[in-house]
Every structure is written in structure tokens, then in C-alpha cells.
Amino acid sequence: MTQPIYVTQPFLPPLEDFIPYLQQIWGSKILTNGGPFHQQLESALCDYLGVRHLALFANGTIALVTALQALRITGEVITTPYSFVATAHSLLWNGIKPVFVDIEPNTLNLDPKRIEAAITPHTTAIMPVHVYGHSCDVDAIQKIADNYNLRVIYDAAHAFGVQDQRGSVLRHGDLAVLSFHATKVFNTFEGGAIVCPDARTKLRIDQLKNFGFVDELTVVAPGINGKMSEINAAFGMLQLEHIGAALARRKEIDVEYRLQFGRIKGVRCLNDAGESVSNYAYFPILVQPDYPLSRDALYEKLKEAGIHGRRYFYPLISDFPMYRGMPSAQRSNLPVAADASDKVLCLPIYPALQAPDQQRVIDIIRGG
């Protein structure tokens, strides 16, 4: 029987490689609260990612919520409707009003040309997303932020290891937030992190993720329990040993898709990373009107063959009940995002995807 194929599959090193890490945790009897593996992983990730300070979290959503608290963001925040719901949910959790702005057609990232028109006296920050790991127009966004004295928090959930011509994209903005969920390029089962510009900011974030404690007797803020456990951190250390090979395999899959789909009418691929360093986190296609099937019909055809694509991101965040009543959420305000959401289909891409299975995906799409 043919095994199902999913959009992504967590990278799992050999179980026996994880046993020594577990033995160290059992031996130390330190399971959480910033233990040895937590400290090691923070240091190792700073080195690998090329950043100075990083605070680990239990997951990326709590990291987003805490990043907003750390910068004391209030009022309105300009963001994208084309993302996972955690982006906007983190704003609502903080009592902040999301203001949705349309996206660029070539990258599907927040369109800087649309931002200024959305700024009001209540705007305090911009929260862009590096969609599918493709870097936003960071220079244009920062220029707007500087002109209007706004903070910038990047939802960099997809951007692990991504670099532009000047280094890690995670160095941009006031803060950048990563996700280490099991579906991500680098995962700790569940996890996340905030990339911080300086030690003082990291200290505040470390306090906020530990209920606001400064010491045994002193609480200085209404923090949350966002700490990463030692088991998650240990798995992250093991993942780092294999990340180079995992990214290389993802690149091979990406190259083959692009080669094959360049010959299929009605299938549009997003631009590749060009001179930047990509992590090949996702492989989205946009199903065009001249393709023989609609996007949803192609999705169902793949599913019938045991290939589970993902309409990612569909629906738009702005289409969900808690957002759609907002003036900025109207589809007439977001034509590019609405069009992309109706056409997008993410295809399987992960290190364990075998060439024959990838060819099955290609053949079904070629057959229309």
C-alpha cells in the first residue's frame, strides 16, 4: 500500500542518537527552568544563526505574545492578512488592534507601499512576516518605521537560517520571533525563540517568560510561563547536528520542482531566493486560471492519490470571525492577498521525501 505524503514531515534523527541526551537530563535531574541544554542551545543557535542574543520559548506563539509585551506595544499594529493565525492572535491577546495591509504579488510579503496609508495616531508598530522564509523588504519597512517612530517586530516563524546579502534576516527590526514547531525546518518538537538586539532586552524577555520573576522574592511584571524544557532543548541540539544535510536535501527538492513546473502551463512558482540564502521551508504553487483544474479541484485530486497538500494560507486571517468585521479586513482592501489565498497550494518538501514520491506529485500536477 502506498504511504500518504504530506506537505511536511518532522526530521527525526536516529532514536539511539537521542538516548545520551536523555541520560544526561535524567542524571542531572534538571528538567526545565533554564537548565544546561537550554543554555547550550541558546548559545549554539546564536552561533549558527549569526545573532548576538536569543531567548528560547516553549512555542512561537507565546514568543510573539511576549515580544509585544517586552516592547510595551499598545494601540494598533499594522500586519499582514496572509499568515498563520498566531500572527494576529498574538495582537488580540495583548489587547492590540491588528490593521491589515495588502501583500506584494511576487513575494506574498507585506507590501511596504501600502503601509503608510494605514498609519493612524494609534499606530505603534509594524508586524511583518517573512512568508515561506522569503525575506521582506526590510529596508523599506524600517525606513517607514523610522519616519513614524514605530517599532518593528518580525514574525520570522519560517525564516530559520535565512540570510540576505548582509547576513541573517533575523537581525532586522526591534525583535524577530522564530517557531520551532515540529513542522518547521528546525524543530524542538514544540518551541520558539525571540532574537534580541542586546543583553538588556534579552534580560527583560527572560523575566517575562518566567512569570516576571527577577529573583526568588521579586516579581516585576505580569509575565507568563513560556520556558522551554530540557528535553525540547536537547532535541534542538541534536537537530543542529543534522541541519546542513536537511537543508541540502530540501534544496534538491526545490530545484526539481522548479525545473518540472516551469514546463506546466497554469502553474506559477514564487521567485527563488536569488542571491539570498533560503531554507526551502515550503514549496507553494499558485494555480492560475489557465490550469485545467481549480486549486481546490487539484487539492482534492492530490488527496485522492494520498498526497496531502496544504492551502497555506487559506482562508486569510482577515476572513475569520474575530477579524472580518474590521474595516481593514475587507477583501476589497486586500486584493492581492485574497487572490493568492484562493490560488495557493503548498506541496510536499522535507528531507525524507524520496525522488519517486516527488515524481508522483509532479506527474499528477502535470496530468491536470
Decide if 57 is inside a domain.
yes
Which residue, chain included where needed, has cell 508522483? 360
Asked if residue 8 belongs to a domain, the reply is no
Domain co-membership, 188 together with 219 = yes
Q: Which of 205, 223, 238 is the last residue of a domain?
A: 238
145 and 20 co-located in one domain = yes
C-alpha closest to that of 178 among 139, 222, 129, 212: 129
| 291-295 CB contacts, 8 Å cutoff, 24+ apart | 291/264, 291/265, 291/266, 291/267, 291/368, 292/266, 292/368, 293/368, 295/342, 295/343, 295/344, 295/345
Both 142 and 29 in a single domain? yes
Q: Where are the alpha helices (DSSP H) in 293-334?
A: 295-304
pLDDT score recorded for residue 180 = 98
Q: Which of 190, 223, 238 is the last residue of a domain?
A: 238
- The answer to whether residue 9 sits within a structural domain is no
Instruction: Give the pLDDT score at 368.
Output: 77
Q: Do 227 and 255 share a domain, yes or no?
A: no
CA 192/CA 177 separation, integer angstroms: 7
Residue 6 lies in a domain: no
- Sheet architecture: strand order including 123-127: 53-57, 192-196, 175-179, 151-155, 123-127, 76-79, 97-100
CATH of the domain at 286: 3.90.1150.10
Domain that holds residue 165: 15-102+109-238
Stated length of the chain: 368
Taking the whole predicted model, whether its pTM rises above 0.75 is answered as yes
21 lies in the same domain as 169 = yes
Average pLDDT for runs of 10 along the chain of length 368: 84 92 96 97 98 98 98 98 98 98 97 98 98 97 98 98 94 98 96 97 98 95 97 97 96 97 95 82 97 98 97 98 98 97 98 96 94
C-alpha cell at 350: 522535507
- Residue 275 is predicted with a pLDDT of 63
User: Are the C-beta atoms of 156 and 130 separated by less than 8 Å?
Assistant: yes
pLDDT reported for residue 12: 86
192 & 258 share domain: no
- In-domain check, residue 21: yes
Q: Which of 209, 238, 267 is the last residue of a domain?
A: 238
Say if residue 41 is in the same domain as residue 118.
yes
**228 and 154 in one domain?**
yes
Say whether both 295 and 363 belong to one domain: yes
Q: What is the pLDDT of residue 277?
A: 86
**Are 234 and 315 in a shared domain?**
no
Within-domain flag for 216: yes
Q: State how far the Cα of 51 lies from the Cα of 54, in Å rounded to an integer.
A: 7
Contact in structure between 259 and 143 (CB atoms under 8 Å):
no
CATH at residue 188: 3.40.640.10
* Statement to judge: residues 19 and 84 lie in one domain: yes
pLDDT at residue 135, rounded to an integer: 96
Q: Please check whether residues 159 and 270 belong to one and the same domain.
A: no
Reported in sequence order, the residue ranges of the chain that DSSP labels E, i.e. its strands, are 5-6, 53-57, 76-79, 97-100, 123-127, 151-155, 163-164, 167-168, 175-179, 192-196, 213-215, 218-219, 267-269, 283-287, 307-308, 344-347
Q: What pLDDT score was predicted for residue 1? A: 52
pLDDT of the residue at 253: 97
Residue 289 lies in a domain: yes
Residue 1: inside a domain, yes or no? Answer: no
Give the count of domains, the chain: 2
